[in-house]
């Protein structure tokens, strides 16, 4: 167990998923509540997307706060919008 690992949650019910210890690419990951299941490699791909997306959103929110009230700086983009993910990492919002 390392401090950089995050629990994988089901994107629908935010339930911690079940898998074998140290899963390999072909191992199944299953949500105990809604029985949604995927191969571990597919799950990890979505989880990484979720982390990237959440980080981008957090960055944009910080930037929006920084330029608020400034006469000279204006954010023209709304940043990444809300997305739902099939699988998510705990600790990164939704
Ligand atoms: Zn679920």
Per-residue pLDDT tens for 36-94?
A: 999 999 999 999 999 999 999 999 999 999 888 888 877 777 888 888 999 999 988 65
Per-residue pLDDT at 80: 86
Domain ranges of the chain: 8-89
Per-residue pLDDT at 3: 45
Q: Report how far ligand 1's centroid is from the alpha carbon of 39 (Å).
A: 15
Q: What is the spatial distance between Cα 62 and Cα 59, in angstroms, rounded to a whole number?
A: 5
Contacts 24+ apart (CB under 8 A), 21-29: 29/87
Q: Report how far ligand 1's centroid is from the alpha carbon of 46 (Å).
A: 15
Residue 92 or 5, more confident: 92
Q: Report how far ligand 1's centroid is from the alpha carbon of 64 (Å).
A: 33
At 1, is the pLDDT very low, low, confident or very high (cuts 50, 70, 90)? Answer: very low
Q: Report how far ligand 1's centroid is from the alpha carbon of 1 (Å).
A: 24
Q: Is the pTM of this model over 0.85?
A: no
């Amino acid at each position: 167990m390392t401090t950089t690992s995050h629990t994988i949650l089901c994107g629908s019910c935010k339930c911690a998923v079940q898998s074998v210890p140290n899963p390999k690419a072909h191992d199944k990951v299953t949500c105990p509540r809604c029985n949604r299941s995927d191969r571990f490699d597919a799950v990890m791909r979505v989880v990484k997307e979720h982390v990237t997306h959440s980080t981008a959103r957090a960055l944009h929110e910080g930037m929006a706060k920084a330029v608020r009230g400034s006469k000279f700086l204006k954010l023209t983009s709304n940043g990444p919008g809300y997305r739902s993910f099939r699988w998510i990492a705990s600790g990164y919002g939704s």
